[in-house]
């Protein structure tokens, strides 16, 4: 019979890799927690409308990439393509708006986008993201960017470039959009069909088009950064000078528009210099809470692609040590096996990682297996040990043997 394979664009995370993921996930969580962020988990699926309204009808994510289906009750459901919309919905739905401001949330969740699969681009992928809800100050942008940067520092990932831009607010954007339509309008016929549909509703999205032809036509287009209102300009100046004072290197990339509609003012991307892949993206989104029915509430956040981070982490870091058993208990015979069960149970209860025979293998085969597992220590429970109540604890690295009582406390004292 044919074996069924995993769907295109998905990955299995195997035991030989999962411990590295856990290591990285813990390190990143610690960075975020040190900034006061607390974990939130939201549903894998939401009503489709949430993303249509939040991420934006004219974005690639909503127009082309969502996993959307009707459930048996006839409601349109979508697998989350990103985390911000769900986090903000949960913030409002659970009354977090009445908590002391700002509310700081982080998540580590799988996301789903029907994309062209290629290196670094999957259909099921993972993001660790952070959302800081309730501050309009440039200080929130700066803290968020510093926090994002420390993720890469903590993981010893070098050569990550920070690019920032400001894409203004609805106030300054209308003037800009007029200018942009004038520019694009001259060649509108030559743009792709998707761009044509975006011309009236959201011409800025045309700047984000991946089509070669459209990219060429976009060269020389007016940039949002040249049309910022006084407030947006001042905000951006403050962000830039605070980053410089904090010795954070960055470049201004006025071509960053981001692929999601909710952004306002500061946007930023962390790019891997070697591959050019964006490993982390984010920005301010001052209109989203209100868009979802809440009071006007400013916010800023980011998300990092865990698969992309893992790739860089593994390329540049020494091997993370996998957890190996503290002790292997070799035993043969009914009484001996019962003793092994008891000793293992108590040691595990005390926090020791214990492996023991559950295959009824021979002594020799058990030793071989213990060796394969790289166990730090081995004890043998045989007839002699049962009679004498003593056991030899063998340190596998040094070969040294130490005699102890055949009791959990005595064994712990030697192996710890």
Identify which of residues 269 and 336 has a Cβ nearer to ligand HAM in the complex: 269
Applying CB under 6 A, does 302 fall inside the site for ligand HAM?
A: yes
Would you say 20 and 313 are in contact if contact means Cβ atoms under 8 Å apart? yes
By CB under 6 A, residue 176 contacts ligand HAM? no
DSSP three-state, residue 247: coil
Of 259, 287, 298, 408, which one interacts with ligand HAM (CB under 6 A)? 259
192 closest CA partner among 210, 169, 180, 179: 210
CA distance 316 to 313: 5
Which strands form 45-47's sheet, in the order they lie side by side?
45-47, 76-79, 68-70
CB of 132 to ligand HAM, least distance (A): 9
211 belongs to the binding site for ligand HAM (CB under 6 A): no
Is residue 145 a contact residue for ligand HAM (CB under 6 A)?
no
Site string for ligand HAM, 83-112 (x = CB under 6 A): xx----------------------------
Q: Does residue number 134 form part of the binding site for ligand HAM (CB under 6 A)?
A: no
Residue 46 lies near ligand HAM (rule: CB under 6 A): no
Q: Which is nearer to ligand HAM, 149 or 394 (CB)?
A: 149
Q: How far is the CB of 137 from ligand HAM (least distance, A)?
A: 16
The pair of three-digit structure tokens given for residue 302, joined into one six-digit string: 């980011």
Q: Phi and psi at residue 14, in whole multiples of 5°?
A: -95, 160
- Encoded one letter per residue, x for contact with ligand HAM by CB under 6 A and - for no contact, window 107-126 reads ------x-x----xxx--x-
State how far the Cα of 66 lies from the Cα of 82, in Å rounded to an integer: 10
**Site for ligand HAM (CB under 6 A): how many residues?**
28
- The size of the chain, in residues, is 416
* Residue 256: CB minimum distance to ligand HAM, A: 10
State yes or no: residue 25 binds ligand HAM (CB under 6 A): no
Which residues are bridge partners to 103 per DSSP? Answer: 133
Residue closer to ligand HAM by CB (options 120, 294) is 120
Q: Does residue 298 interact with ligand HAM by CB under 6 A?
A: no
List the 327-331 sheet strands across, edge first. 354-356, 327-331, 377-381, 390-395, 401-405
DSSP structural state of residue 118: B
The dihedral of CA 133, 135, 138, 142: what is its sign?
negative
Which residues have C-beta within 8 Å of that of residue 82, sequence separation ≥ 6? 51, 55, 61, 111, 127, 260, 303
Task: Determine, following the binding rule CB under 6 A, whether residue 278 of this chain makes contact with ligand HAM.
Answer: yes
282 vs 298 by CB, closer to ligand HAM: 282
Closest by Cα among 301, 304, 295 to 264 = 301
Candidate residues 51, 62, 66, 82; the one interacting with ligand HAM per rule CB under 6 A: 82
Footprint of ligand HAM on this chain (CB under 6 A)?
Answer: 82-84, 113, 115, 120-122, 125, 127, 129, 131, 259-260, 278-283, 285, 301-305, 307-308
């Amino acid at each position: 019979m044919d074996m069924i394979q995993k769907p295109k664009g998905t990955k299995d995370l195997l035991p030989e890799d999962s411990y590295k993921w856990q290591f990285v996930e813990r390190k990143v969580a610690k960075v975020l927690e040190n900034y006061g962020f607390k974990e939130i988990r939201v549903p894998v699926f939401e009503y489709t409308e949430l993303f249509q309204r939040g991420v934006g009808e004219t974005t690639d994510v909503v127009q082309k990439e969502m996993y959307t289906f009707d459930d048996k009750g006839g409601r349109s459901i979508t697998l989350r393509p990103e985390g911000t919309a769900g986090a903000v919905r949960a913030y409002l739905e659970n009354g977090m708006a009445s908590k002391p401001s700002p509310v700081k949330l982080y998540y580590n969740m799988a996301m789903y986008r029907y994309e062209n699969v290629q290196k670094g681009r999957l259909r099921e992928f993972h993001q660790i993201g952070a959302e800081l809800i309730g501050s309009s100050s440039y200080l929130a942008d700066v803290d968020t960017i510093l926090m994002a940067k420390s993720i890469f520092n903590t993981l010893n990932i070098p050569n990550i470039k920070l690019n920032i831009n400001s894409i203004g607010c609805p106030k300054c954007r209308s003037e800009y959009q007029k200018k942009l339509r004038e520019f694009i309008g001259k060649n509108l016929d030559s743009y792709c069909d998707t761009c044509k549909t975006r011309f009236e509703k959201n011409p800025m999205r045309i700047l984000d088009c991946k089509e070669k032809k459209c990219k060429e036509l976009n060269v020389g287009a007016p940039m949002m950064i040249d049309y910022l209102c006084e407030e947006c300009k001042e905000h951006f100046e403050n962000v830039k000078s605070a980053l410089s004072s904090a010795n954070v290197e960055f470049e201004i990339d006025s071509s960053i528009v981001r692929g999601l509609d909710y952004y306002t003012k500061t946007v930023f991307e962390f790019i891997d210099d070697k591959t050019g892949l964006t490993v982390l993206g984010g920005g301010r989104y001052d209109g989203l809470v209100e868009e979802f029915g809440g009071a006007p509430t400013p916010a800023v956040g980011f998300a990092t692609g865990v698969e992309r981070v893992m790739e860089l982490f593994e390329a540049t870091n020494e091997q993370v040590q996998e957890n190996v058993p503290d002790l292997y208990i070799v035993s043969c015979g009914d009484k001996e096996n019962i003793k092994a069960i008891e000793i293992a149970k108590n040691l595990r209860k005390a926090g020791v990682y214990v492996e023991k025979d559950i295959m009824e293998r021979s002594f020799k085969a058990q030793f071989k297996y213990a060796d394969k597992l790289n166990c730090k220590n081995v004890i043998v429970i045989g007839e002699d040990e049962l009679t004498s109540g003593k056991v030899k604890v063998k340190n596998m690295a040094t070969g040294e043997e130490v005699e102890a009582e055949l009791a959990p406390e005595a064994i712990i004292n030697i192996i710890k």
